[in-house]
Amino acid sequence: RNWMWDLATDPLVVQMLESTLGPGPLLYASQLHRKAPSSAAEPGGHAVPWHQDGSDKVRTLWISLDEVDEHNGGLRVLPGWHTLGRLPLKRVCSVEELEAAEYMARNNVFEVDLDAARAAAANTRQASVVSYRLPAGGAAMHHPQLPHSSPPNASARRDRRVIILRFMARGEKPVPGRAMHWRGKHLFHKEAFPVYAGAPAPPTARLLHVPAAHEEQAEEP
């Protein structure tokens, strides 16, 4: 069986998607992501800056394979900020910031300027940062325009492994490009697959993937 497809087409997941995206949602990306425990030699993965994912026609489902909290790189969000729409991007002011921005851009992450957003909207709520606290096997879904970030894994013993599933509304199209199978052996064109009870599973080689590192990738919706 294709266990990733089983997760994406679970009746509770489909019900949650249809309640926000309408009938006929599509799975367009699936990823495995790990932030290993930290050590004296290196931190536990990269800090991911505050960013947004895309239009209101997509949803991201975050499934934790380990217990996750603020100590091992759990996701952080700003509740209610999705109502502000698209936020301004943060200006790059140094060579160090440029290098970090280029690295994140290769992973379709573009840092937003929270200070500029507060200044532009006088009624912006001063929301407190909320960190995900999920048990192993827990899941959470956030609006694509909700600002979110994650710190490195500061724990010396606890792993942080997650499955990330990205869905879009029926009628939307994935950004053209190619993706790579998670074992790094197969390239294929990006596709979107309808999720519903009993939907046939796509080939595994096209289900688990990460962006091809040697290609220029447009920002995913």
CB of 89 closer than 8 Å to CB of 83: no
SS3 category, 212? coil
Q: pLDDT value at position 41?
A: 76
Q: pLDDT value at position 55?
A: 80
Q: pLDDT value at position 119?
A: 67
SS3 category, 67? coil
- Residues (pLDDT < 50) of the chain are 209-221
Q: pLDDT value at position 108?
A: 76
Rounded to 5 degrees, what are φ and ψ at 153?
-75, 110
Q: pLDDT value at position 188?
A: 67
Q: pLDDT value at position 180?
A: 60
Q: pLDDT value at position 216?
A: 33
Rounded to 5 degrees, what are φ and ψ at 91?
-75, 135
Q: pLDDT value at position 122?
A: 54
